Structure 1
Amino acid sequence: MNLFFFFYVYLMSIISLILIRSHLFLCLVSLEFMVLFFLFLLIYYCLYFGNSNFYLFVYVMTFYVCEGVLGLSVMVHMIRFHGNDYINSMFLW
């Protein structure tokens, strides 16, 4: 695979995070997409250079799963108390 592809996808996920800021769910999907392609890039480099240490993948996947669970729990909490997932309604008193 071309390294330019990974940077292009990562850049597109950052741009989508900047442009789509109204819903919390879409922001979380953009963040998950960024983390996923960072993980793919890490796997690509470790396999390309012949490093056989896969413990780093376990640590990164653990943080990835924890980030996803925390994001979804924040979204469920926000929908229960505010009624929607708009980011602007979260900052109103």
Structure 2
Amino acid sequence: MMFYVEGSVMLGLSVGGLSFVLNYSHLLNSLLSLEFLTLMIYWGLSTSTMFIGNDFFFLLFYLAVGACEAVLGLSLLVSSVYSHGLDYLKSYSALLC
């Protein structure tokens, strides 16, 4: 049973990483890929702690950090759309900021 869970977590991490690398054009796609990776890591950690029998306090801390990461990414998306009018990452230049 544990092998199926580990395999599905590894498949999810691979798909999320591949999605992040290949869909780099828009900020929203990148943020969704990072959130998917965060959820896959959480799923892997939660199933491993469930089978081992450890505490779940670390998972609560991980969820809090993941929520802060999502909020920070969405605020960055909103501010960039407000200032530039689009979320296309290749149109930004470091010299214009």
- The amino acid of 1:66's aligned partner reads C
Cα deviation for residue 40 of structure 1 reads 0.6
TM-score by length of 1: 0.94
Decide which of 9, 28, 33 is 2:36's aligned counterpart.
33
Q: What is the aligned partner in structure 1 of residue 59 from structure 2?
A: 57
Moved over 2 A (4+): none
Q: What is the aligned partner in structure 2 of residue 46 from structure 1?
A: 49
Give the share of equivalent positions with the same residue, in percent: 32
Cα deviation for residue 28 of structure 1 reads 0.3
Q: 2:47 and 2:80 mapped to 1: Cα distance? A: 37
The count of corresponding residues between Structure 1 and Structure 2 is 92
* SS of equivalent to 1:22: coil
* SS of equivalent to 2:42: helix
**8 Å CA contact 1:20, 1:27 repeated in 2:** yes
Q: Any gaps of 5 or more consecutive residues in structure 1?
A: none
Q: 2:16 and 2:56 mapped to 1: Cα distance? A: 26
Q: 1:37 and 1:91 mapped to 2: Cα distance? A: 32
Q: 2:71 and 2:92 mapped to 1: Cα distance? A: 19
RMSD: 1.1
Q: 2:25 and 2:53 mapped to 1: Cα distance? A: 43
Cα deviation for residue 47 of structure 1 reads 0.1
- The amino acid of 2:9's aligned partner reads F
Q: What is the aligned partner in structure 2 of residue 75 from structure 1?
A: 77
Q: What is the aligned partner in structure 2 of residue 22 from structure 1?
A: 25
